[in-house]
Amino acid sequence: MPQTLLNKVAVITGGGSGIGRATAELFLSEGAKVVLFARSAAPLEEVAALAPARVLTVTGDVTVGEDLARLATATSRRFGQTDILVPAAGIARLAPLVHANASEIDLQLQVNFLGTLNTVRTFVPHLNSNAAVICLSGRMREGCGLGAFNATKAAVAATARSLAVELAPRRIRVNCIAPGPTDTLMWRKIGVSPKQTEQLLAKLTGPLKTAQLGTPQDVAEVALFLASESAGHVTGQEIVVDGGNAAG
Ligand SMILES: NC(=O)c1ccc[n+]([C@@H]2O[C@H](COP(=O)([O-])OP(=O)(O)OC[C@H]3O[C@@H](n4cnc5c(N)ncnc54)[C@H](OP(=O)(O)O)[C@@H]3O)[C@@H](O)[C@H]2O)c1
């Protein structure tokens, strides 16, 4: 079978863990050259070990403009123009909106919304025509303490729609994937105990059997579709990958 992304250059922020990592591994298996970005080097190196000749790792923070600029420069020096951009770096913090600490709300805005927007803005001059940008939005059930997270993700979805229109003259497609609750380390870093995390995830997942926790691979498969030529006429869309959670 021919590889879907043979020799395509894919840049993935948050590529050391969860959805970003699963996407990186799937893209590598489909022949892509992959650039991984996150703050911790070790997880990125684990992915790089799968195909050292086709992986570049860059450490940095999506909230720091110089780090994003360094990522773009390193990518073009090693692999040339970028065909696929997946700004997947993101965080969640648990706190009802009325009680949430302002600095935690701001951090989620900085990483999830501005981090995504600034990653795309930095890469615009480095994107090939026909490039695909795949953002990570998402919407958790209201009333569970993820209001600030939901607000940042709504901003990502709105931004992706605008960017799809702005970049259409260059035939660059911009889409979003909205994962439902997905089994990644994000949930271990929300600021509560493992037991409280389990209780939260039980509240967030719906009654449908199909809406139990998704896997990072479920999301990566949709990212592969959006990155591929099969999605050549798909832009400005948000694809929900939640096993029917929102519907059930
Ligand atoms: N898991 C879910 O249920 C779910 C649902 C909806 C949407 N999403 C979204 O999907 C995306 C991936 O999340 P995930 O669940 O795979 O989370 P994850 O397993 O925690 O992975 C997050 C990745 O982002 C990186 N990251 C975090 N802050 C960063 C920063 N300031 N600069 C650079 N890299 C940073 C992390 O590495 P370092 O810490 O080393 O930097 C890690 O590689 C996020 O945008 C998330 O909001 C997830």
Atom of ligand 1 nearest to the CA of 40: 40
Q: How confident is the model at residue 1 (pLDDT cuts 50, 70, 90)?
A: confident
DSSP state of 202: H
pLDDT at 22: 98
DSSP codes, 45-102: HHHHTTSGGGEEEEE--TT-HHHHHHHHHHHHHHH-SEEEEEE---------TTT--H
Q: How confident is the model at residue 240 (pLDDT cuts 50, 70, 90)?
A: very high
pLDDT at 2: 86
CATH 3.40.50.720 assigned to domain 9-239? The reply is: yes
Closest C-alpha residue for ligand 1 atom 45? 90
pLDDT at 119: 99
Looking at the predicted structure, is the pLDDT value of residue 247 above 90?
A: no
Of 156, 146, 162, 125, the closest CA to residue 62 belongs to: 156
Tell me how far the alpha carbon of residue 88 lies from the centroid of ligand 1, in angstroms.
Answer: 6
Q: Which helix (H) or strand (E) segment is 230 a member of? A: none
Residue to mutate, 17, 93, 146, ligand 1, most ligand atoms under 8 Å from C-beta: 17
Beta bridge partners of 177: 136, 239
Query: Distances in Å between the alpha carbon of 4 and those of 84, 159, 192, 247?
Result: 13, 28, 40, 32
Average pLDDT on 51-68 reads 98
Per mean pLDDT, which range of 49-53, 104-108, 204-208, 242-246 is the poorest? 204-208
Q: Could you tell me the pTM of the whole model?
A: 0.98
Query: What's the pLDDT tens digit per position in 68-91?
Result: 999 999 999 999 999 999 999 999
Q: What's the N-to-C CA distance of the chain in angstroms?
A: 37
Helices 65-79 and 115-123 sit at what angle, rounded to 10 degrees? 40
pLDDT at 138: 96
Looking at the predicted structure, is the pLDDT value of residue 206 above 90?
A: no
Lookup result for tokens 């509240």: 203
Looking at the predicted structure, is the pLDDT value of residue 143 above 90?
A: yes
Pocket of ligand 1 (CB under 6 A): 13-14, 16-20, 38-40, 61-63, 88-91, 111-112, 136, 138, 179, 181-182, 184-186, 216
**9, HSE (Cβ side, Cα atoms, 13 Å):** 19
Strand 238-241 to 127-136 pairing: unpaired
